[in-house]
Amino acid sequence: MQIVVLDGYALNPGDLSWAELERLGGVQIYVRTPPEEIVARSAGAEALLTNKTPLSRQTLAQLPALRYVGVLATGYDVVDLSAAGERGVVVTNVPRYATGSVAQMVFAHLLNLAWHAADHGRTVVAGRWSNCPDFCYWDWPLIDLNGLMLGLIGLGQIGQAVAKLGAAFGMKVLAYDPAYSLSLRERDGVRAAGPESHVELDELQRESDVISLHCPLTPETDKLINAERLALLKPTAFLINTSRGGLIDEPALAEALNAGRLAGAGLDVLTEEPPPPDHPLLRARNCCITPHIAWASKRARQRLLDEAVENLRAFLAGAPRNVVTA
């Protein structure tokens, strides 16, 4: 089998091995593939692996040898699934490989907002502590998470992992997920809300000290956190997003932060990645942005690569797994 990896650098910048993939056929690995090179590099390939390189209907129509696409991620919107299905191309993804890593990033952002560790560290390096008349100082309020309300919008695998970490910090957890069942709510001890519950999304937003987003980006959730919903949050609340940038109306969030109507935000994702230099959140008050790295711990990337290889191996054995085409 001829296998082409269109953008291998994101998954493997050099600290992982492609050896197991190479056991499955002839492999050509490209660091990145610009749009104008996708068809030429994919020509003759029976299997394509892609992270963010798009495979549109027009592109797929020019690849008659293609039988399989392995998406090196959980989200698979880079592939036109309808066109792939029409051509008999099997498309797979890799779910749940980064659950622990993403949950940890939520608390990396939250602890940084609560304790301003990075900000205080910079003042120490600048000489502030060396010249301080006292044995300590703090320039921002220091917030203990114990007893705060953690509001989760979305309670899938990652949301549940975040709930457990929140409980370990002594936080109360309130969750909203229309698909989350009562039996799971009772078992996990999470006060959860859905369409059948008396607790709705508005109430979650009003009660929570921290809101963390863990839902997919759909037409229904696009800009879910908009100016109207931001107005429901406590001015002391923090907003964390490690899910999809499009869940937030970003100009509205920047305005709320700069006006002091929200205490802070920790974001690992934005609507446009990389963001333009004039993106309003890059200079917003008390907004910490990381470059979409919650998924990228070495251990998570190794799991991703292992699962991608297993997906292709299963396809070759006639028993495909993690299939996202109809």
Give me the domain span that covers residue 109.
99-289
Q: Which residues contact 102 (CB under 8 A, 6 or more apart)?
A: 158, 161, 242, 294, 295
Number of structural domains the chain divides into: 2
Based on the fold, state whether residues 196 and 57 are members of the same structural domain.
no
Beta strand pairing status for 264-267 and 172-176? unpaired
pLDDT digits (tens, 9 = 90+) for 59-75: 999 999 999 999 999 99
173: which 2 tokens? Answer: 């957890």
Angle at 37 between CA 315 and CA 44, to 5 degrees: 40
Tell me if 62 is assigned to some domain.
Answer: yes
CA gap 2, 25 in Å, rounded? 6
In a domain, 186, yes or no: yes
Contact 192, 163 (CB under 8 A): no
Residue type, 106: V
Q: How far apart are CA 224 and CA 256, in angstroms?
A: 15
Q: What is the CATH number of the domain that holds 8?
A: 3.40.50.720
The verdict on 130 and 210 lying in the same domain is: yes
pLDDT of residue 200: 78
- Same domain for 62 and 142? no
d(CA 119, CA 71): 38
> What are the tens digits of pLDDT across the range 174-226?
888 866 544 444 445 566 544 444 357 898 999 999 999 999 888 989 999 99
Which residues have a catalytic role annotated?
A: 244, 273, 292
Please report whether residue 325 resides in a domain: no
Residue among 224, 240, 76, 39 nearest 158 (CA): 240
Specify the DSSP element, H or E, that contains 306. helix 298-316
What are the residue ranges in the chain where pLDDT is below 50?
181-187, 193-198
Q: Is residue 177 part of a domain?
A: yes
Judgement on whether residues 184 and 263 belong to the same structural domain of the protein:
yes
CA angle 200, 202, 207 (to 5 degrees): 95
State the pLDDT at residue 179: 65
- Residue 248 covered by a domain: yes
Residues 155, 233 within the same domain: yes
Residues 81 and 113 in one domain: no
129/261 same-domain check: yes
Q: Are 21 and 312 in contact (CB under 8 A)?
A: yes
251 and 111 in a common domain: yes
Q: pLDDT at position 199, please?
A: 54
119 and 18 assigned to the same domain = no
Name the percent of the chain lying above pLDDT 70: 93
Is residue 61 assigned to a domain? yes
Indicate if 185 and 277 belong to the same structural domain.
yes
Share of the chain above pLDDT 90, in %: 87
Q: 324 lies in a domain? A: no
Task: For residues 165 and 263, state if they share a domain.
Answer: yes
The pLDDT, as a whole number, for residue 321 is 98
Residues 31 and 136 in one domain: no
> The pTM is what?
0.91
Residues in a beta bridge with 259: none
Question: pLDDT value at position 195?
Answer: 43
- 326 located within any domain: no
pLDDT at 58: 98
